[in-house]
Structure 1
Amino acid sequence: MGQSCSLFLRFDAMLLFASPNDATDDPASSRVRWLFVGIAVLLVGGAVGVSGHIPETDGHYGLWSLLPPLVAIVMAFYTREVVSALFLGIAVGGVVAGELNVVQAFLIPAIGTEDFALILLVYLWALGGLIGLWTRTGGALRFARWASGFIVRGPRSAKFFAWIMGLVFHQGGTVSTVLTGATVRPISDEHNVSHEELSYMVDSTASPAATLIPFNVWPIYVGGLVAGTIPLFETSQEGIAFFFSALPYNFYAIFAVGITLLFAWEKLPFVPGKQMRAAMDRARSTGKLDRDDANPLAADDLTNMKVPERYQPGLVDFFGPIGLLLGVAIIPYMVTYFYLGRTDDPTLLIAEAFVLAVLAGMGIALAKGMDLQDAIDGFVDGCRGVTIGAIILALAVTLKEVADAVGTADYVVAALGDVLLPVTLPALLMGLCLLIAFSTGTSWGTYAVVFPVAMPLAWAVSPEPFFITLCFGAVVGGSVFGDQCSPISDTTILSSLATGTDLMDHVYSQFPLALMAGLLAAAAYTGLAFFAV
């Protein structure tokens, strides 16, 4: 997921790529659907029947300990909707642990913590509010117009500009796709860059860039998920610090962003996938930005700003908030990490940076004459836009608590710790995350069901910090890989919307390029694992 999913967009996408039979009441598909529902009911019913009577041994409930995350994963695969899947996993975990009141036993304790409050503050209020403010001030669009005048001279430089904007708007998947796509599309259209090329540029510099330039909410979210799973990170702050230290081993993101740069400058030895090559040839030779039979998604709603009539957007509307955000987040970290040598406990002021950025953006807008009500409306609209993401976050951290309560990780470690070959584990974790994220359309939901099990398993296989780092990077990158390629991912859909691309043209044309990055990453993990164990 990119991190703020849209249920409406996801449902709309399912309609877009569904076959004609999907729209009819097909008896065979209906039977399969009801079969899965029946299985789910039997699982839950069986669990309720034995609630409170399952023996606990060595901190786990045997095979029953696998049920909560397994149900969440299977239902996410089948329904392709992570909210209901996560909640069902929580409910099943409650009956396995003999705690039928999951609200009191798990939900309230999980979301009533300082860690979740930090996630909520940064993700729901600060990040959403900042984007909402930009829709009122027009600061991000003004910056893109200004910067493009220094860079863009033709198709290659137009794509390079899109690459740069993807790194500048690195706050997360959906944020990057909307801001990057909406700002660079008019410029790239003028220089005959096909919409397939542009949508790939936007998508491949969204979540991958967010995990490589993590002065955003990603390390806070992941740090909260891995906190307490192994001795290396007992607290969320230690998890956040580990996220930063593992950046050089986030191989999928590194290869994805690097290949996108080579693609922008047209320096790849070859462009995999005949559809992308055909799109490039068509746009350059005929000027057609979409194929003849394409059904581009409308992007007008994403490109229309809500700037008040009398307000004049300026560069300060962008540089003020983003400069303060990056400055407060990066400078203290760099000083304490490199200058003071506090590598185990560098100063991370990510939450403070986001709050100050919002206040700066609002203050600049008011000083330039915007009405207070307009500024507040922009802030509220931005927060409203990421509400579904906050719901997923609450369920994700709750499922982690459930997995801890039933001993899921303890059982997996006991059952598989002595069986798996250490050298294969990072690549296997990457492949597992790829499948889950592709089927659910969310990297963050994948993190929620994989990290609580993957980290203890990696620790049991080999407690070497370097090996743990490889497995950590494999989960982070594999989830982003599957999310980027999924046709039901919010980043995939919004990349198509923001660039005016046919959804499935985008999916098919970008997959070979993403697969190239994924294969290179898997090879790198396997090769380095030989030296880690």
Structure 2
Amino acid sequence: MDPVTNFGILSLLPAFTALILAFITREAVFSLLIGVLVGILVTGQNILFGFTGLAQSALGNADFIWVLSIEVFVGIMIAFFQKSGAIDIFSKSIEKMNVKAKGAQVLAWLLGIFIFFSDYFSPLYVGTVMRNITDKARVSREKLAYICDSTSAPVCTIIPFSSWGVYVAGLLVGIGAFTDKNIAMNAIVRMVPFNFYGILSVIMVGIIAIGIIPDFGPMGKAEKRTRETGKVMNDNARPLLGKELSEIKPNEGIKPNLFLNFFAPALIIISITLGTYIINGSAKTLEGFVAAVAFQFITMLIQKIGTIPELVETAIAGIKGIVSAVIILALAYSLNAISKELGTADYVISIASSWMTPALLLVFTFLIGAFISFFTGTSWGTYAILTPIVVPLAFNLTGGNITTLVYATIAAVMGGGCFGDHCSPLSDTTILSSLAAGSDHIDHVKTQVPYALSVAGISAVLYLVIGIML
């Protein structure tokens, strides 16, 4: 296909189709698949050959294989947690504190903030650790998924030395006065106070968990259902967490060690991720998961929690348990690829640029970023598209100087891109949050969107005010 072909408004059709069907049918796999097929039809390709070709190009790359590998090892890790009885013993230790719904939510929120270094590990660990605790405290799976999701990507955007901050700093180098990475990294630090969406998303979780603001919308209904009936999911829910994982039980008489079987795997991931970032400037998250799983296997073998055949069988059950999430992730990647081929993001930029005025630079940067990221499911892709467009415009308005307007523009890019990564049904971290919390994916999206939109609305107003003042 000619890469310069302009499909105009038709470029939005695949994502719109998938989103509308997802909310109507509540079936993520079907909706994403239809969205992909619609995209292939729009390009004019043969459905059969177009689909197979797309699958190979979209999934046969290092990015997808990296995320897939993390999911596989997370599945094994969760299975080993179950087999060792580590999660049960942690839950029982928390139960002794007589934790109620509010306390369970606050604990999940704080744990999510603590795991600040990876938007992948954070929801997976928090969801896995807190699921039994929140179930017993009568907190809905939708609520747990929301807490996991809203303390992953948003937290990463407000931590300057996270992989997110480093990535955006790299995009800034060569634009205007950002002549080297040190100057760019300083800008990432200075933009944090203006990252209203990231900051407010994290705060929103806390005040909702504490009860300062009562649950509203679909989340309010989900919480009422769980509180009154004890049902943590809808009767028709299809949780991404496979039954293989929920059915894994420790052998009789097993006495797990809370440190070795519960805390140590997480500390290994944290140490490797942060250590490699500090030493090499690149966080090796996947390597951390591999090392943690290897540690679990060897430790459980020494503790005689299981034989080699038993542990291998447990690992396979863990992989089976995340198959649903893998299928959704693969289709989301395919939909993102066909949207890129159709020039979806370029079309959005082209129609929005005509609205742009200096006074509205910040609010439009944020809103356009939010729109692109929601319909493509990618934050980093949004950053790559918006940064070279809006940052030069900010420099234009400041006479080439690095001022508050430049910092605020970078923050608007960060926050807008985070919106989609945080709540789009096409986003990998949204999928991972549903997986770890054991929530129906569409239910998670439907209950979270009103909260995310509320924060986005407040953020847009703040950007408008700042833009007028500067």
TM-score, scaled to structure 2: 0.68
The secondary structure found in structure 1 opposite 2:295 is helix
The secondary structure found in structure 2 opposite 1:290 is helix
- Asked whether the equivalents of residues 412 and 457 of structure 1 are also in contact (C-alpha less than 8 Å), the reply is no
Is 1:115 aligned with 2:44? no
RMSD: 5.1
Q: Name the CA shift for 1:434/1:180 in 2 (closer, same or farther; >3 Å).
A: farther
- Asked whether the equivalents of residues 86 and 396 of structure 1 are also in contact (C-alpha less than 8 Å), the reply is no
> How far did residue 405 of structure 1 move?
4.4
- Asked whether the equivalents of residues 199 and 495 of structure 1 are also in contact (C-alpha less than 8 Å), the reply is yes
- Asked whether the equivalents of residues 167 and 205 of structure 1 are also in contact (C-alpha less than 8 Å), the reply is no
Q: Tell me the residue number matched to 1:429.
A: 368
- Asked whether the equivalents of residues 322 and 435 of structure 2 are also in contact (C-alpha less than 8 Å), the reply is no
| CA distance in 1: counterparts of 2:52 and 2:222, whole angstroms | 55
Q: How many residues align?
A: 415
Alignment of 1:21-420 (within 5 A): 60-62=4-6, 64=7, 66-67=9-10, 69-80=11-22, 81=28, 82-92=31-41, 94-95=43-44, 101-102=49-50, 106-123=54-71, 125-147=72-94, 149=96, 156-167=102-113, 171=121, 173=123, 176-177=126-127, 179-186=129-136, 188=137, 195=138, 202-212=144-154, 251-266=196-211, 268=212, 271=214, 273=216, 289-290=227-228, 297=235, 305-315=248-258, 316-333=260-277, 335-336=278-279, 346-369=281-304, 370-420=306-356
Q: Report Cα offsets for 1:472-499 as digits up to 9, x if no partner.
A: 4213224524669xxx98967986969x
- Asked whether the equivalents of residues 276 and 284 of structure 2 are also in contact (C-alpha less than 8 Å), the reply is yes
Q: Name the CA shift for 1:76/1:525 in 2 (closer, same or farther; >3 Å).
A: farther
Q: Tell me the residue number matched to 1:235.
A: none
| CA distance in 2: counterparts of 1:157 and 1:93, whole angstroms | 50
Q: Tell me the residue number matched to 2:460.
A: 522
Q: Which runs of 5+ in 2 are unaligned?
A: 23-27, 176-184, 395-405
The secondary structure found in structure 2 opposite 1:477 is helix
> How far did residue 165 of structure 1 move?
4.8
| CA distance in 2: counterparts of 1:296 and 1:99, whole angstroms | 35
Q: Tell me the residue number matched to 2:179.
A: none
> How far did residue 66 of structure 1 move?
4.9
The secondary structure found in structure 2 opposite 1:206 is helix
> How far did residue 322 of structure 1 move?
0.8
Q: Name the CA shift for 1:489/1:387 in 2 (closer, same or farther; >3 Å).
A: closer
> How far did residue 357 of structure 1 move?
1.0
Q: Report Cα offsets for 1:150-206 as digits up to 9, x if no partner.
A: x657665454334345556873557644541213433x3xxxxxx3x6657523321
Q: Name the CA shift for 1:511/1:473 in 2 (closer, same or farther; >3 Å).
A: closer
| CA distance in 2: counterparts of 1:403 and 1:295, whole angstroms | 32
Equivalent position amino acid for 2:130 in 1: T
Q: Tell me the residue number matched to 1:460.
A: 389
Q: Name the CA shift for 1:405/1:156 in 2 (closer, same or farther; >3 Å).
A: closer
| CA distance in 1: counterparts of 2:147 and 2:288, whole angstroms | 22
Q: Name the CA shift for 1:179/1:458 in 2 (closer, same or farther; >3 Å).
A: same
Q: Name the CA shift for 1:481/1:265 in 2 (closer, same or farther; >3 Å).
A: same
Deviates more, 1:77-86 or 1:370-379: 77-86
Identity of aligned residues (%): 17
Q: Tell me the residue number matched to 2:25.
A: none
- Asked whether the equivalents of residues 154 and 418 of structure 2 are also in contact (C-alpha less than 8 Å), the reply is no
Q: Report Cα offsets for 1:268-319 as digits up to 9, x if no partner.
A: 3x54659999999x99xxxx94169999659997866521224322211111
Q: Tell me the residue number matched to 1:236.
A: none
| CA distance in 1: counterparts of 2:76 and 2:124, whole angstroms | 14
Q: Name the CA shift for 1:529/1:401 in 2 (closer, same or farther; >3 Å).
A: farther
> How far did residue 253 of structure 1 move?
4.8
| CA distance in 1: counterparts of 2:344 and 2:415, whole angstroms | 21
Q: Report Cα offsets for 1:6-59 as digits up to 9, x if no partner.
A: xxxxxxxxxxxxxxxxxxxxxxxxxxxxxxxxxxxxxxxxxxxxxx7xxx6xx5
Q: Which runs of 5+ in 1 are unaligned?
A: 1-51, 189-194, 233-240, 337-344, 437-445
- Asked whether the equivalents of residues 268 and 288 of structure 2 are also in contact (C-alpha less than 8 Å), the reply is yes
The secondary structure found in structure 1 opposite 2:121 is coil
